[in-house]
Amino acid sequence: MSGLSVEPAHPGLTLPRRLGAGLTLASLYQHGIFLLVLLLVATPLAFLILGSFSTAQVPGDVSLADLSLANYRTAWLDPTLLRLVDNTLVYVIGSTLLGTALAALLAWLAERTDLPGKGWIYAGVPMTLAVPGMLQAMAWILLLSPRVGFVNMALKDLLGLDRMPFDIYTLPGMVFVEGLRLVPTAFLMLVPLLRGMDPSLEEAAATCGANPRTTFRRVSLMLLKPGLAAILIYQAMTALEVFEVPGVLGLPAGIPVFATRIYSILNSANFGPAYGQANALGILYLAVALVATFAYMRIIGKNERYATVTGKAFRPRRQRLGAWRLPALLLVLAYLFLSVGAPFLALLYISFLKVLQVPSAAAFASMSLANYRDLLASDSMATVLWNTVLMVAVTASATTILSFLISLVVVRSRFWGRRILDQLAFFPHAIPGMVMGLAMLWLFLKLDRYGLPLFGTIWAIAIAFTISFISYGTRAMNAAVLQIHKDLEEAARTSGAREWRIAWRVFLPLMLPSFIGLFVWALLHAVRIAGTPLLLYEGQQNQVLAITIWNMWDEGYVTSVGAVGTLLMLVLLAATLALRMIGFGRERI
C-alpha cells in the first residue's frame, strides 16, 4: 500500500506528437491529470474548511458576514467532547488490536505452520469481505440483543440464568463486531510479509542458542515491525472512519463516536441540522486522520531498512503444530463462522418470517417467501436497485480508469509533479467517509446555486466514492504498472508497432487482471459503505441499497432487511470469489 514513485528508465507509453513549441500531447495529459486530481481533492476540503467557519443556515449560501469561530467554540468546547474522544479511542484501538491480532494469527497459521486444510484460510478469510459492516452489526443484534437475541435467549434457558448473558449494545460489543470486520484486510496485508521472511535468519538465531520465544521477539518480530506498524495505523484509520457499526450499535445505546456524532448533528430532530458545527467537528476528525496518515507514510518510506528478500531463493520454514493442529483448525473455522456463517444464517432465518420471533417449531412452521415476493413486486425497490447498479458501475469504472491514468504519470513519466501527484492521490485515504460526505455536501449545494444540479443525484455519490477510492486504486495500479518491464514495449517498437498497438496488444492484456481486480474491489466497497450516501441522500432519486437497508432497519422492517441482506450477501460473495480468483488465480498457495 506504499506510494510507488520511481525514476523510470524509459517513459513507457508516450504521446510524442507536438502541438506547439515545447508542447506535446504527453505534456497536456500529465498536466491535465495533475490539475484534475488537485481539483478533486482540494475543492471538497476547501469547502469543508470554509463551512466550518460559516454560521449560514443553508450550506453553500455563505457570505463574509457569516464567517466566525462560533462553530469551533460550540463543537470543540462541548463538555461531552471528552467522552466522545474517549469512546472513539477505545473503539478504534480496541477493534484495531483485535482485528490485527486475529489476522496475524490466521496469517501465521497459513504461512508458517503445517496446519491442515489451509485452503479454508486462504479462501475463507477474504470471503468475509462479502458481509457489509452494517449487515454484520444488524445480524449480531439479532443474535446478542439483550431483549430478543437468539443466542442470548437460548443460553438463558439452557443455563437457567436470571438475565441475558451478553449485551451487544456496548462499547465492547462494537469493538467485537468491528474487530471481525477488520480481519480480512489485515490478513491480506500480513500474508506477503510472512511469506517474504527468510527463515535462515531465524535458523541462525536458533544456532546461537536462542529459544523460540527469544527468536520470535528479537528476530521475527523486529523484521515484521515496520509492516505491522503500517498495518496497525492503516487499520486504525479504517476503524476511525467507519460509520456502519457505530451507527447500528452505538446510536441506539447512546455511545457516540466521531462518525455518529457528525451524523447526529446533521439529523437532529429538535434543532435541525447544524452544518457549520458538523464541519468544525469534521476538521478535528480530519486532523486526527492526517496525523495517522503522516505516521503511516513515514513508516512505509523507511521499509527498505528491513528488507529480507534477495536474489537467493528460500522457502518459509513450517513449524509443526503437533497436538495443536486440531485446535488451530477449529479456531479458523470458528472465526469464519462468527464472521460469515452466523450473520448469514441469522439474516436468512428472519428473511422467511413476517414477524420477528426466536427460533421455534412455530416460527419454522410460519416461514414463507412473502418478504422476497414483496421485494420483487416493489416499484421503489426496483428504482433502488437500478440506482445502486448505476452508482456502482460508474464508481468502479471511474476509479479504475482514473487510477490507471494517474499511475501512468507517476510510474511511467518524468513529469515534474509526479511525486506530488502520487501524494495527492493517496490523500483521500486520510479523509474519513463522513467527513468526505460532509465536504461533498457543501460543494454540491454550492454548485447547485450556480446551475449544476449534482446534489440529490446518483452522480454525487459516485463522485464522492471515486475520490475516496483512488487512494487504494493508485497503490494497486502503481504496483501493476511497475511490474511491466519496458523491454516488452521496446520489442514491440523494434517490430514496428505503433504506440496505440503497443497499448492494445501488450500493455492492456498484462494489466487486465489488475483492472478487473480493482473494478471488483471498488464495486464491493461502493455497495458496503453507508456513511457517505447517508449524507448525500436526497429522496428516492438517489436512494441506494445501503440507505434502503438503513431506513428499513430504523423503521422496524427487520424481516425485510433479512431478505435484502441475504440476497446482497450472496451477490457480494460471488463478487468476492471473483476477486479472489483474479488475485490468486496464478499463484500457487
Q: DSSP string of 234-292?
A: HHHHHHHH--HHIIIIIHHHT---HHHHHHHHHT-TTT---HHHHHHHHHHHHHHHHHH
Please list, in sequence order, all residues whose beta carbon lies within 8 angstroms of the beta carbon of residue 246, skipping any fewer than 6 positions away.
91, 174, 255, 256, 257, 259, 260
Q: What is the pLDDT of residue 513?
A: 79
**What's the domain range around 292?**
22-48+79-309+330-350+378-584
Please list, in sequence order, all residues whose beta carbon lies within 8 angstroms of the beta carbon of residue 185, skipping any fewer than 6 positions away.
103, 234, 235, 238
Tens-place pLDDT, residues 274-308: 888 888 888 887 787 777 777 766 765 554 444 44
Tell which phi-psi region holds residue 132, choosing left (phi > 0), alpha (psi between -120 and 50) or beta. beta
- Asked if residues 296 and 189 have their Cβ atoms less than 8 Å apart, the reply is no
321 phi/psi in degrees, rounded to 5 = -85, -25
Q: What is the pLDDT of residue 10?
A: 45
- Residue 261 to residue 115: CA distance in whole angstroms: 44
Kindly state whether residue 57 falls inside one of the protein's structural domains. Answer: no
- Residue 421 to residue 329: CA distance in whole angstroms: 45
Kindly state whether residue 142 falls inside one of the protein's structural domains. Answer: yes
Beta bridge partners of 54: 67
Please list, in sequence order, all residues whose beta carbon lies within 8 angstroms of the beta carbon of residue 170, skipping any fewer than 6 positions away.
253, 255
Q: What is the pLDDT of residue 583?
A: 53
In the three-class reduction of DSSP (H, G, I as helix; E, B as strand; rest coil), residue 119 is classed as helix
Q: Is the pTM of this model over 0.75?
A: yes
- Residue 355 to residue 148: CA distance in whole angstroms: 13
Q: What is the pLDDT of residue 263?
A: 87
Closest by CA position to 492, among listed 483, 480, 505: 505
Kindly state whether residue 153 falls inside one of the protein's structural domains. Answer: yes
Kindly state whether residue 169 falls inside one of the protein's structural domains. Answer: yes
- Residue 248 to residue 499: CA distance in whole angstroms: 52
In the three-class reduction of DSSP (H, G, I as helix; E, B as strand; rest coil), residue 219 is classed as helix
- Residue 472 to residue 382: CA distance in whole angstroms: 31
HSE, side-chain direction, 13 A CA sphere, residue 426: 25
- Residue 173 to residue 138: CA distance in whole angstroms: 12
Count: domains in the chain: 1
Q: Which residue type sits at 103?
A: A
564 phi/psi in degrees, rounded to 5 = -65, -45
Pull the grid cell for residue 236: 486504525
- Residue 438 to residue 453: CA distance in whole angstroms: 17
Q: What is the pLDDT of residue 300?
A: 59
Under DSSP, the state recorded for 147 is T
Give the H or E element holding residue 561.
helix 558-584
- Asked if residues 414 and 11 have their Cβ atoms less than 8 Å apart, the reply is yes
Kindly state whether residue 1 falls inside one of the protein's structural domains. Answer: no
Kindly state whether residue 71 falls inside one of the protein's structural domains. Answer: no
Q: What is the pLDDT of residue 8?
A: 45
Tell me the CATH number at 242.
1.10.3720.10
Kindly state whether residue 7 falls inside one of the protein's structural domains. Answer: no
Q: CB neighbours (10 Å) of residue 266? A: 20
- Residue 305 to residue 331: CA distance in whole angstroms: 35
Angle at 456 between CA 558 and CA 251, to 5 degrees: 40
- According to DSSP, the β-strands at 18-20 and 23-24 are antiparallel
Beta bridge partners of 24: 18
Under DSSP, the state recorded for 391 is H
164 phi/psi in degrees, rounded to 5 = -65, 135
Pull the grid cell for residue 92: 478504534
In the three-class reduction of DSSP (H, G, I as helix; E, B as strand; rest coil), residue 214 is classed as helix
- Residue 442 to residue 425: CA distance in whole angstroms: 21
Kindly state whether residue 145 falls inside one of the protein's structural domains. Answer: yes
398 phi/psi in degrees, rounded to 5 = -65, -40
Pull the grid cell for residue 472: 487504494
For cell 467532547, the residue is 81
For cell 541462525, the residue is 204
Handedness of CA 573, 377, 373, 563 (dihedral sign): positive
Residue 507 burial (C-beta neighbours within 10 Å; 0-12, 13-18, 19+): buried
- Asked if residues 76 and 299 have their Cβ atoms less than 8 Å apart, the reply is no
Chain centroid, CA 276 distance in Å: 27
pLDDT along the chain (589 residues), means of 10: 43 48 73 93 86 75 74 89 93 95 90 79 79 91 91 90 91 95 86 68 63 63 72 84 91 91 79 78 80 70 48 59 85 91 94 91 92 89 92 94 90 85 83 81 83 88 93 83 67 64 68 82 87 85 91 92 92 76 48
